[in-house]
Structure 1
Amino acid sequence: MKKALLVVHRYKSEKAKDWGFTANDYATADMIQNISKLYPNYDWHPATLAEAREFLHAVEIDLLVLVPMLKDHLEEFNAYPHVEVDYLKADEYGDISKPPFPFMRKEKFK
């Protein structure tokens, strides 16, 4: 399976058994779960900017996706020719950052 990183600003992490890190905080864990449904052919792991830089030298990463607030780093990661690099647009970020269960979503009062 291809390897992918979702580069986030920060998160609570734990070392994964095979490669990368897993998220211990619900927000990032939900984002990883939701993006993996959109891109099922990838093994997704979260990473901070510093972790992503380390992984690009140590692990063969196929896809790297930045959250919207980190899109200014797009050019830096595009310097790696073997990695497909993209960033989430605001609406895409909104979709993947929503909790997976409707009862957990906070709806605005009408």
Structure 2
Amino acid sequence: MKKALLVVHRYQFAQDKEWGFIAKDYATADMIKNISTLYPDYEWRPATLAQARQLLREVEIDLLLLVPVIKNHLAELDAYPHVEVDYLRADEYGNISKAPFPFMRTD
């Protein structure tokens, strides 16, 4: 399976046994779950910008998807020729990061 990183500003993380990090906080874990349904061909992990830079040197990453606040780093991360780099638009980010429980939704 291809490997992908959702590059976020910050999150609570724990080391995974295979590669990258897994999210311990519910917000990021829910975003990863929602993203993985949109991109089912990838094994997703979250990463901060610093973690993404490190993982790009250690692991063969196929796709980086940046949240809107990180989008200004698009050119820097696009310098890796073997990695597809894209970012979420604000409305896409809003839909993906919505709480999964109906009683928590504000819309």
2:16 alignment counterpart: 16
CA RMSD of aligned residues (A): 0.9
2:102 alignment counterpart: 102
Quick one: which amino acid aligns to residue 35 of structure 2? I
Compute the displacement of 1:102 (Å). 1.9
Give % identity. Answer: 72
Counterpart of 1:46 in 2: which secondary structure? strand
Q: Which runs of no fewer than 5 residues in structure 1 stay unpaired? A: none
Q: Aligned ranges for residues 48-63 of structure 1 at < 5 Å?
A: 48-63=48-63
Compute the displacement of 1:64 (Å). 0.2
Counterpart of 2:53 in 1: which secondary structure? helix
How many aligned residue pairs are there?
107
1:46 alignment counterpart: 46
Q: Which runs of no fewer than 5 residues in structure 2 stay unpaired? A: none
Quick one: which amino acid aligns to residue 48 of structure 1? T
Distance 2:19 2:105 in 1: 31
Quick one: which amino acid aligns to residue 29 of structure 1? A
1:83 alignment counterpart: 83
Greater Rg, structure 1 or structure 2?
1
Compute the displacement of 1:24 (Å). 0.7
Compute the displacement of 1:9 (Å). 0.3
C-alpha deviations, 1:30-77, integer Å up to 9, x for none?
100100010011000000000000000000000001100110000001
Distance 2:39 2:103 in 1: 25
Question: Normalising by structure 2, what TM-score?
Answer: 0.96
2:5 alignment counterpart: 5
Distance 1:103 1:34 in 2: 18
Distance 1:27 1:106 in 2: 15
Counterpart of 1:51 in 2: which secondary structure? helix
Distance 1:28 1:66 in 2: 13
Question: Normalising by structure 1, what TM-score?
Answer: 0.94
